């Protein structure tokens, strides 16, 4: 997350802290201290998950030092990222900030997802307004944070969320009975907090995970803005044609999946097929099983991280297109997509969808889609995987 000019002015006007450091210049004698500051901000020991800022061209008391903020200075500051002395390389941005009395250089350092970060082999941290070398306890905390951040996105705790953001009635009434056998429920005597953690809907210390917010969140979109499905029914074959219907399917995951099934069933059209003599049957333009597999897979396999895009389901006169944000994941690549390999970007959500009855067999989505289309007389499905999304096109039987 990048800071606005107003945010930077506020930080510059405040005292030094674990997110702010000032330097009079970037002269060669300050190189080590600048690199140590960048390393410390990247480690983010306090766990703010907010950028740390190094201001260059300003004294400790907040007065400008008079150093010219030139393009060469900004390039020199930016080069700290790629010199190989700070590992893993930090994510930084460098720019000029205008203030009332002149200009300062700003080095904005994002918290690392792979701490601890080291400068020349040492782990630097911020302890309030000062830099320090990490002790063994600090290093342990940073290592634990890395392991937490290495978890699949759906099992990571959502910063700022609390158990109050979860619909515990929905959890007890629907999710628990669907995922936990009755005999186990009767025998284990677990508390609701223990059950939430056991199903990975909260972290061990009770913070809702992304899967928890998506599955039973009171307002999932306030935390994960892309967790919805956009449905369009187009009266034509292009997006420029008139819309017959438009719906936004959102809410906790069970509601989204239920709405999705309902809207698919409502939009299928059937035609009378005279197979022989007076015998007739009604044949749908799309088999419901193929539509369900494609739509549910889009919800299950999509990326919920680093995107605000919804799953898009567009129903044209001659085809249905489903676009899922996020390309193939893990062992599945653009080149191997559809060749039988299976991997799960969101393993907790996949298990929940299986428990709720929306997934019968892992890895069967594409085979079921292919066979049901063939059995209904539809053309083959068209799968278009890219690095940023997966698109599937189903063409009408007509």
Dig out the tokens for 303 from the structure: 């990326």
CA–CA separation, 337 and 341 (whole Å): 7
User: Could you tell me the CATH number of the domain that includes residue 128?
Assistant: 3.30.950.30
Nearest to 35 by CA among 21, 17, 47: 21
| Residues 38, 136 share a domain | yes
pLDDT at 188 (0 to 100): 60
pLDDT at 365 (0 to 100): 77
Can you tell me the mean pLDDT for 247-266?
97
* Sheet hosting strand 389-395, strand order edge to edge: 243-249, 229-234, 311-315, 319-325, 389-395, 382-385
Nearest to 202 by CA among 174, 173, 161: 161
| Residues 382, 369 share a domain | yes
3-state secondary structure of 379: coil
pLDDT digits (tens, 9 = 90+) for 6-61: 989 898 888 878 899 999 988 878 899 999 999 999 999 988 888 999 999 998 88
| Residues 62, 21 share a domain | yes
CB hemisphere CA count around 195 (13 angstroms)? 19
| Residues 110, 238 share a domain | no
Can you tell me the mean pLDDT for 359-372?
81
Q: Say if residue 306's pLDDT is above 70.
A: yes
Strands 311-315 and 229-234: parallel
pLDDT band at 332 (very low <50, low <70, confident <90, very high): confident
| Residues 174, 118 share a domain | no
| Residues 165, 218 share a domain | yes
| Residues 242, 383 share a domain | yes
Looking at 105, 135, 150, the residue that finishes a domain is: 150
Nearest to 19 by CA among 30, 1, 306: 1
| Residues 245, 187 share a domain | no
pLDDT band at 129 (very low <50, low <70, confident <90, very high): confident
Can you tell me the mean pLDDT for 344-350?
90
| Residues 52, 119 share a domain | yes
pLDDT higher for 220 or 179?
220
Task: List Cβ neighbours of 117 (8 Å cut-off, separation of 6 or more).
Answer: 39, 42, 43, 86, 87, 88, 90, 123, 124
pLDDT digits (tens, 9 = 90+) for 136-151: 888 888 887 776 677 8
Percent of the chain with pLDDT over 70: 94
Q: Say if residue 230's pLDDT is above 70.
A: yes
User: Could you tell me the CATH number of the domain that includes residue 281?
Assistant: 3.30.565.60
Dig out the tokens for 114 from the structure: 């792979």
pLDDT digits (tens, 9 = 90+) for 168-185: 999 999 998 888 777 666
pLDDT higher for 120 or 373?
373
| Residues 359, 297 share a domain | yes
Cα–chain center distance at 14: 33
Number of domains composing the chain: 3
| Residues 262, 377 share a domain | yes
pLDDT digits (tens, 9 = 90+) for 265-302: 999 998 766 555 555 678 899 999 999 999 999 999 99
Does the predicted model carry a pTM greater than 0.85? no
pLDDT at 148 (0 to 100): 67
Mean pLDDT, the chain, whole residue set:
89
| Residues 259, 208 share a domain | no
Nearest to 214 by CA among 391, 48, 346, 49: 346
CA–CA separation, 270 and 126 (whole Å): 66
pLDDT at 322 (0 to 100): 97
Q: What is the per-residue DSSP string for 302-317? A: S--SS--PPEEEEE-S
CA–CA separation, 161 and 254 (whole Å): 20
Beta-sheet strands, E only, within 149-285: 229-234, 243-249, 270-276, 279-284
pLDDT higher for 22 or 339?
22
pLDDT at 17 (0 to 100): 84
- Which helix (H) or strand (E) segment is 261 a member of? helix 253-267
Looking at 98, 123, 150, the residue that finishes a domain is: 150
pLDDT at 185 (0 to 100): 63
* Sheet hosting strand 52-56, strand order edge to edge: 20-23, 52-56, 102-109, 92-99
Phi, psi of 294 (to 5 degrees): -65, -45
In terms of residue numbers, what domain contains 77? 5-150
| Cis peptide bond N-terminal to 88, omega within 30 | yes
CA 223 → CA 160, 204, 208, 226, 388, distances in Å? 9, 20, 11, 9, 22
Residue 280 and residue 273 in contact, taking contact as beta carbons nearer than 8 Å: yes
Looking at 90, 122, 150, the residue that finishes a domain is: 150
């Amino acid at each position: 997350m990048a800071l606005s000019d107003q945010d930077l002015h506020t930080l510059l006007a405040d005292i030094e802290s674990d997110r702010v450091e000032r330097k009079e210049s970037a002269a060669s004698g300050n190189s080590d201290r600048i690199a140590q500051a960048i390393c410390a901000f990247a480690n983010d020991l306090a766990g703010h998950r907010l950028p740390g800022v190094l201001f260059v061209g300003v004294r400790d008391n907040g007065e400008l030092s008079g150093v010219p903020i030139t393009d060469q200075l900004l390039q020199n500051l930016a080069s700290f990222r790629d010199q190989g002395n700070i590992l893993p390389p930090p994510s930084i941005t460098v720019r000029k900030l205008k203030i009332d009395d002149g200009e300062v250089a700003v080095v904005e350092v994002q918290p690392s997802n792979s701490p601890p970060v080291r400068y020349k082999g040492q782990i630097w941290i911020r302890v309030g307004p000062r830099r320090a070398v990490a002790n063994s306890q600090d290093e342990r905390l940073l290592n634990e944070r890395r392991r937490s951040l290495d978890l699949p996105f759906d099992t990571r705790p959502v910063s700022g969320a609390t158990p109050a953001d979860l619909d515990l009635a929905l959890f007890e009434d629907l999710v628990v009975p669907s995922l936990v056998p009755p005999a186990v429920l009767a025998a284990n005597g677990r508390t609701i907090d223990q059950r939430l953690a056991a199903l990975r809907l909260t972290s061990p210390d009770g913070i809702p995970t992304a899967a928890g917010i998506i599955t039973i969140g009171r307002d999932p979109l306030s935390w994960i803005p892309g967790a919805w499905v956009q449905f369009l029914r187009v009266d034509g074959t292009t997006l420029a044609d008139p819309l017959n219907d438009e719906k936004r399917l959102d809410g906790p995951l069970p509601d989204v999946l239920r709405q999705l099934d309902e809207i698919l069933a409502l939009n299928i059209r059937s035609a009378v097929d005279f197979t022989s003599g007076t015998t007739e049957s009604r044949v749908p333009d799309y088999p419901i099983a193929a539509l369900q597999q494609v739509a549910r897979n889009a919800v299950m396999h999509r990326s919920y991280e680093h995107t605000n895009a919804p799953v898009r389901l567009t129903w044209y006169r001659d085809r249905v297109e489903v676009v899922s944000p996020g390309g193939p994941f893990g062992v599945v690549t653009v080149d191997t997509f559809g060749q039988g390999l299976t991997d799960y970007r969101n393993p907790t959500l996949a298990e929940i969808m299986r428990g709720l009855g929306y997934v019968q067999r892992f890895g069967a989505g594409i085979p079921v889609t292919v066979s049901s289309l063939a059995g209904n007389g539809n053309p083959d499905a068209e799968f278009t995987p890219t690095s940023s999304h997966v698109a599937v096109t189903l063409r009408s039987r007509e």
